[in-house]
Structure 1
């Protein structure tokens, strides 16, 4: 494991969080994921929390989350309470496993920047299962190259090595297809989406696969989204997921990944 970047407050928050959730006893993994996710309710939304310094480090920030780091931290805590090790460094290793290609931080391009890449990698090590095909998802081909074509938006890409490595990642992604459950078919499949499923919002924006992510949570029988909202904090959508998506002009549907947390590679 490489260098860790965190504040003293984060190690304190880790201990508080662990004490808060370590006795969670639920009937399913999905319920446990939701319970951990709900423990973050009200945590401020903060964008670009991982863009720290000039060299890639393992950033741990429990004081502010964006949509992806929210999902990552919830899964890492899920692994933490599932195991028998409860030290901060153990949590850091679990976060590294979730966030980086093959579970190892090796420079900026080893971070799983594109969420479909994130899903594939974590599926390959047994942490999640992409169930979109089972829900009737449709296969599409789309170039995923937003970072390479918008270099100026990513400070780390000012470094030529980082930039070339990201272009290589995007070249590999070009060989992969996307499976998306179209927006107009989600309601018909809602009964098959479980609490704790990861919901990734697919987009029509050129070069991007996903613009947002969170967890499915049922409220009065309907699937809502538990997420780090750009409106301010970790929250649950007031309206069902289906209605929430209709307000997003660029949304084309969703990708659904079910946490399994079964990886034998996870420390």
Structure 2
């Protein structure tokens, strides 16, 4: 099935029902589970030529899965369900100031994505509120490794990424260290956005997904690079992180509305 066909099918389902009474978190969980077993595909946004708004519902990575579900949740909640409204909402979510103005306007660092989308009124970063600790956040991975990003061979893009990195480093971020997730998970709601932090100095976030309650514990609904598909983690979130040395904790964001 082609991506557009799958998306049109989802939009048709959303048009048939009134989702205005459901909370954004409930919508994230309902819609997110429609993507279970969707193949994991990396670098779907990295196309040749100028930056395009890529829509791919048949192959997702952890971020494009999250963005697709959040976009669908928001248009379902608003009642404005169409391909055009999906496109506009996805662009608003994915790019700085909500506009695709080239490669460097895409929110490449997920901590920047959280900050910008909180400024747009789309989400609230609840990490500090639910018990988080200060997180030293100064990502420089992209500017230090331009060889991994074709578009960073252009000086203009590289300079813009460096500028974004400088701004990120000046902000105050919080995280919940992985050793504290089990004791604080009662404050995490099913449908919250989860961003997994890293112990690597030059990176901010290494994985994303949605919190989902299963047997009284918080698990992760995510596009898994290990199992190569969208799934619900077998282990609770705290144990999932415990098994990965480079994952240091989580940031938690919640859709508004």
**TM (normalized to structure 1)?**
0.91
Q: Does 1:221 align with 2:216?
A: yes
Pairwise CA RMSD = 1.5
**Aligned counterpart, 2:193:** 198
**Aligned counterpart, 1:167:** 162
Contact 1:21 1:36 in 2 (8 A): no
Match 1:75 to one of 70, 77, 81: 70
Secondary structure of 1:77's aligned partner: helix
Structure 2 distance, partners of 1:24, 1:208, is 41
Distance 1:214 1:24, change over 3 A: farther
Question: C-alpha displacement at 1:221, in angstroms?
Answer: 0.5
**Aligned counterpart, 1:5:** none
Match 1:14 to one of 7, 19, 27: 7
**Aligned counterpart, 2:207:** 212
Structure 1 distance, partners of 2:75, 2:239, is 34
Contact 1:203 1:210 in 2 (8 A): yes
Structure 1 distance, partners of 2:181, 2:162, is 33
**Aligned counterpart, 2:249:** 253
Question: C-alpha displacement at 1:155, in angstroms?
Answer: 1.2
Question: C-alpha displacement at 1:86, in angstroms?
Answer: 2.4
Question: C-alpha displacement at 1:171, in angstroms?
Answer: 1.5
Q: Does 1:139 align with 2:134?
A: yes
Structure 1 distance, partners of 2:134, 2:144, is 24
Question: C-alpha displacement at 1:11, in angstroms?
Answer: 2.2
Question: C-alpha displacement at 1:83, in angstroms?
Answer: 2.5
Structure 2 distance, partners of 1:21, 1:237, is 26
Structure 2 distance, partners of 1:142, 1:103, is 23
Structure 2 distance, partners of 1:43, 1:181, is 29
Secondary structure of 1:58's aligned partner: coil
Contact 1:201 1:213 in 2 (8 A): yes
Equivalences for 1:33-44 in 2 at 5 Å? 33-44=28-39
**Aligned counterpart, 1:97:** 92
Secondary structure of 1:69's aligned partner: helix
- What 5-or-longer segments of structure 2 have no aligned partner? none
Question: C-alpha displacement at 1:27, in angstroms?
Answer: 4.7
Match 2:147 to one of 129, 146, 152: 152
**TM (normalized to structure 2)?**
0.94
Contact 2:11 2:82 in 1 (8 A): no
Question: C-alpha displacement at 1:24, in angstroms?
Answer: 6.5
Question: C-alpha displacement at 1:10, in angstroms?
Answer: 2.5
Structure 2 distance, partners of 1:29, 1:60, is 21
What whole-Å deviation, never above 9, does each CA across 1:20-53 have from its counterpart, x for those lacking one? 3442756532111100100111110000110011
What whole-Å deviation, never above 9, does each CA across 1:207-258 have from its counterpart, x for those lacking one? 1000000000000110000000002110000110011111111111100001
Secondary structure of 1:97's aligned partner: helix
What whole-Å deviation, never above 9, does each CA across 1:66-111 have from its counterpart, x for those lacking one? 0001110001101221223322122111100110111111111110
